[in-house]
Amino acid sequence: QLSLFRLTMKRLHSTSHSSVDSKEMKKFQLLAQTWWDEEGEYSALHSMNDIRVPFIRDTLLNMSSNYHLGNPLSGIKILDVGCGGGLLSEPLGRLGASVTGIDPVEDNIRTADRHKSFDPVLAKRIQYKSSSLEEIVEECMETFDVIVASEVVEHVADLEMFIKCCSQVLKLEGSLFITTINKTQLSYVLGIVVAEKILGIVPEGTHEWEKFVPPEELERLLESNGFLVKTVNGMLYNPLSGSWSWMESTSINYAMHAVKCGAPRQPSPTGALSEMESEQSSATAGTTM
């Protein structure tokens, strides 16, 4: 753990192979103070906890037989990549997990550290680091039981490298949870035009449609890098109620759960086939878990 803290900002700028996009960093720097205002710029992320935390919690509970409902994630080591101000790290910490939160924007880490410092239980369970994913790979090979990359992959510069790094720091059979935005006409209209420009749900300029990731492509990348995709669920935000819900269609937002199985699989010829295959394997994998 001590070795993690030797890494500094200097290394961040010197690395050329980075999944961090410096333009993206600047966008978040400006909003670093507002993370914890539940009614502020990040209110949609706060309310997303209402579905993403139960999703992570229940998936992990289903995979294990030995847990206590009063401390459901106890003993689980989670890496929260792109943790921002710690909005997702804190609930996971409260549920008993040991969380390491990393984010390239130092101001975000400062905000996160300050916010957790008032709660002695969280202060012990969560460690924050200002860092990119690549920078911790060496020290953290196969360290984590779970990686959470929520609302992150639509901001990274090199998605394949990001996934490779996830695989390196994740234990075998470990879980990777991703939530992100699909690249469709609908997601452009709702996710950018409506969300940013009209309703102001998301600060303007946060997202670039070019960088949105369709679930088929994400699945392909995951499966060709040693992951088995178990679940894909569409998510829907209701701006009137300010709340999220699950939906069949992944055409706007979606969540994905994948498990590191080691051997990279041959990418399937069509997207539909791969989904069927992953359904079949999750049916059988359920018994082996």
Partner 1 sequence: TSAMMAGVCRRGMLASLGGRLRAGPRAPLRSVAAAAPLYDVVVSGGGMVGSAMAAVLGHDIHFHDKKIALLEAGPRKEYDRMPETYSNRVSSISPGSATLLSSFGAWDHVCSLRLKPFRRMQVWDACSEAMIVFEKDDLDDMGYIVENDVIMSALTKQLDAVADRVEVFYGSRAVGYTWPLPSHSCDTSPWVQIELADGRRLQTKLLIGADGHNSVVRKEAEIKNIEHRYDQSAVVATLHLSEATDNNVAWQRFLPAGPIALLPLSDTASSLVWSTSHEHASELLAMDEESFVDSINSAFWSNANHTDFIDTAGAMFRSALSLLKPSGTAVRQLPPSVAKVDPESRATFPLGVGHATEYVQHRVALIGDAAHRVHPLAGQGVNLGFGDIACLAHHLSAAAFNGSDLGSLKHLLKFETERQRHNVSLIAVIDGLKRLYSTRLAPLVLLRTWGLQATNALPPVKVRI
Closer CB to partner 1, residue 96 or residue 215? 96
Alpha-carbon distances of 36 from 88, 107, 144, 263, rounded to whole Å = 11, 13, 26, 40
Which tokens is 77 given?
């080591």
Which tokens is 118 given?
């008032």
Per DSSP, the residues of 93-116 read HHTT-EEEEEES-HHHHHHHHHHH
d(C-alpha 159, C-alpha 218), whole Å = 9
What 8-state DSSP symbol labels residue 6? G
| 94 counts as binding partner 1 under rule CB under 8 A | yes
| 269 counts as binding partner 1 under rule CB under 8 A | no
Which among 33-41, 169-177, 180-188, 270-278 is the span making contact with partner 1, rule CB under 8 A? Answer: 33-41
Closer CB to partner 1, residue 6 or residue 68? 68
Q: Cβ of residue 234: shortest distance to partner 1, in angstroms? A: 21
**Residue 98's CB: how many other CB atoms inside 10 A?**
18
d(C-alpha 136, C-alpha 168), whole Å = 10
The correct pick among 2, 69, 263, 283 for binding partner 1 (CB under 8 A) is 69
Q: Cβ of residue 114: shortest distance to partner 1, in angstroms? A: 5
- Give the three-state DSSP class for 236: strand
Q: Cβ of residue 55: shortest distance to partner 1, in angstroms? A: 11
**Residue 120's CB: how many other CB atoms inside 10 A?**
9
| 220 counts as binding partner 1 under rule CB under 8 A | no
| 68 counts as binding partner 1 under rule CB under 8 A | yes
| 119 counts as binding partner 1 under rule CB under 8 A | yes
Which among 5-13, 115-123, 209-217, 261-269 is the span making contact with partner 1, rule CB under 8 A? Answer: 115-123
Q: Where on the chain is the footprint of partner 1 (CB under 8 A)?
A: 33-38, 40, 47, 49-50, 53-54, 57, 68-72, 90-96, 111, 114-115, 118-120
